Structure 1
């Protein structure tokens, strides 16, 4: 088995990375950043997102493990004080995993060019200084004419990220679906949108056709792309999936409760 360790540069993460590297080498496990079987990320969700995009072309044969060294990690199952347990689990690995759906983002430009991305959390399209005007289609049928700051399309796991802050619902990752949430939509006698998040089925897709302008910003997870004039962006459930090595199971709603409410921990402390 070949393992890559992908870490941020914070002292706590570097210390854990170095200790983990020594422990794995002592067990004759190959450490390499090229064609690994497992990628262990050390940091938080941002670190895992960076690793995901680093290895996006190898998703069919890579499993990820997240180690949390900061304050909040939704994708990270392990804590930095659990080094012996993690090493033991890696040593006895039997290929177990759980997979989550991803977002396919296909961008077409007025000059005939195109770009293709895969997102773990979400993608947004926004205009910088003025109102974004765009037509929104579902399966090539016009759904609404949008006016506002922008639109966010998220995966089920991404529903706990930016989409949630926009008022979107939290979706269980077993749902093969996408969610679109509005960013500061304009609703008056002239402009009218649904003004509500929508969730679409896996065989459907969303196409956004903005007015021809040059000041749009397209984001894919935490990465920002200032792009040339966009003809349209199409979002659908990706063919690829992300796979996490799961040596212990944490129920999705327990993960949500722990990340955003924490009432169980508070109850334990009070007890």
Structure 2
């Protein structure tokens, strides 16, 4: 009896290769098929960065793929299992006793001056907009209504799960991943008697959308998670909660705030 098809994505660390070899053997013993092209379950081995890579490799099949993360270092926000728990992982996966869980994603649409149709991306963590050599000037619209004119180094728009990543480092709030919303955080905004922004992170609901309209320039740097959008003529970028969601297999419900505490505070 075949349990299902599994793809394994690992980083280049020796510990990850060893875990991959052991996990592959255990999965085959449990009647799983290793299929790197058309899997039902995608397992990443490494850290949160490896999980991001695995997500984007299969983000066109989110309606039927579940993800699972194995960490070969310190526990991450997407990687619930450790490399010494592989037997338990496979047993848990086969029994599938944990309730299904999914988290929101960010729908990012980039509009170019030389293209009529926007280019669409999905972000698991965040998207950022910066300017290479000069102050970035952008008009921020919420539900098609002007909110502010931003001047500064850039803007970050993140999902709840991405709120503990780059968003946190630029002063954004930490959101519980069950909240179906996204967040706008400023990166070194310019505030004085002449120029003024809100200066605080903004939480935007799933019924609203955000558009950032840019001054015409060819030196914008746009990132989607770990990837860079390479195009010179970016006119605007819009954001909303995506219809798609990321689904997890064999998810262990570690208390989210305990995970935040362990990652950023430690013992009190």
| TM-score normalised over the length of structure 1 | 0.94
2:45 is aligned with 1:57: no
What is the total number of aligned residue pairs between the two structures? 264
Local SS of the residue matching 1:263? coil
Local SS of the residue matching 2:85? helix
Deviations 1:61-117 (A, max 9, x none): 111110001235111100111111112112223684210000000010111243110
User: Where do 5+ consecutive residues of structure 1 fail to align?
Assistant: 265-271
Partners of 1:135 and 1:248 in 2: CA distance = 41
- How far 1:247 moved relative to its partner? 4.6
Which residue of 2 is the match for residue 83 of structure 1? Answer: 86
Q: Does the CA contact (< 8 Å) of 1:153 and 1:181 recur in 2? A: yes
Local SS of the residue matching 1:243? strand
Q: Does the CA contact (< 8 Å) of 1:102 and 1:242 recur in 2? A: yes
Local SS of the residue matching 2:218? coil
**1:37 paired residue among 36, 40, 48:** 40
Q: Does the CA contact (< 8 Å) of 2:98 and 2:251 recur in 1? A: no
2:41 is aligned with 1:7: no
Which residue of 1 is the match for residue 232 of structure 2? Answer: 228
2:139 is aligned with 1:135: yes
Partners of 1:58 and 1:250 in 2: CA distance = 27
Partners of 1:248 and 1:193 in 2: CA distance = 40
Q: Relative to 1, partners in 2 of residues 1:223 and 1:26: Cα closer, same or farther, differing over 3 Å?
A: same
Which residue of 1 is the match for residue 171 of structure 2? Answer: 167
Partners of 2:235 and 2:64 in 1: CA distance = 34
Q: Does the CA contact (< 8 Å) of 1:98 and 1:246 recur in 2? A: no
- Give runs of aligned pairs for residues 79-158 of structure 1, distance below 5 A: 79-93=82-96, 96-113=99-116, 114-158=118-162
- How far 1:221 moved relative to its partner? 0.5
User: Where do 5+ consecutive residues of structure 2 fail to align?
Assistant: none
Q: Does the CA contact (< 8 Å) of 1:44 and 1:76 recur in 2? A: yes
**1:241 paired residue among 239, 245, 249:** 245
| TM-score normalised over the length of structure 2 | 0.95
CA RMSD of aligned residues (A): 1.4
2:49 is aligned with 1:46: yes
Q: Does the CA contact (< 8 Å) of 1:39 and 1:64 recur in 2? A: yes
Q: After TM superposition, where is structure 1 displaced by more than 4 Å over at least 4 residues in a row?
A: none
Q: Does the CA contact (< 8 Å) of 2:68 and 2:251 recur in 1? A: no
Partners of 1:56 and 1:247 in 2: CA distance = 19
Partners of 1:173 and 1:127 in 2: CA distance = 29
Which residue of 1 is the match for residue 182 of structure 2? Answer: 178
- How far 1:17 moved relative to its partner? 0.2
**2:20 paired residue among 17, 21, 28:** 17
- Residues 22-31 or 90-99, more deviating: 90-99
